[in-house]
Amino acid sequence: MTEVTRSLSEQDQKTKSNALICYACLILGSFTGVFYIAGGLLAMLKRGAAEGSIFADHIENAVTIFWASIILTVIGIFSLPLFGIGYLIIVATSVWVLFRCVKGWLRLMDNRSFN
């Protein structure tokens, strides 16, 4: 099997670097919290600069991960006293975040889009 090497533009390289940082912050933030917010904010700030890049969908993925996980975690926290399934929601959200970040990281390292 031959490997196809694609020449990346400067914008693609910057977007790839930003996406790697976002994914790393989201993964670390799953354990520490502060990095999570930093990764989400960085993704939102770099969204405009990523437009037109082959890696723009990775930045969008990081933003989606950030907001969806915030919403699901809040739902999990509020459902803890009422239903007791909040723990399951929070654990499932954490697993989903790690899966999406690792999948994105691996695809990014292969110079492939997220989708």
**Domain ranges, ordered by start, for the chain:** 10-109
Q: What is the pLDDT of residue 32?
A: 84
> So what's the pLDDT on residue 3?
41
The number of angstroms, rounded, from the C-alpha of 46 to the middle of its chain's C-alpha atoms is 13
Specify the pTM.
0.88
Q: With the C-alpha atoms ordered 43, 103, 92, 33, is the resulting torsion angle positive or negative?
A: negative
Which stretches within 1-115 are classed as H helix?
10-32, 34-50, 56-83, 86-109
What pLDDT was estimated at residue 82?
Answer: 73
Which whole number is the average pLDDT over 69-89? 88
Top pLDDT among 83 and 72 is at 72
List pLDDT tens digits, range 33-68: 889 999 999 999 999 999 999 999 999 999 999 999
Instruction: Give the Cβ contact number of residue 89 at 10 Å.
Output: 19
pLDDT digits (tens, 9 = 90+) for 3-39: 445 688 899 999 999 999 999 999 999 888 889 999 9
For tokens 């020449």, what's the residue? 7
pLDDT higher than threshold 60 for residue 103: yes
Tokens of 69: 């996980």
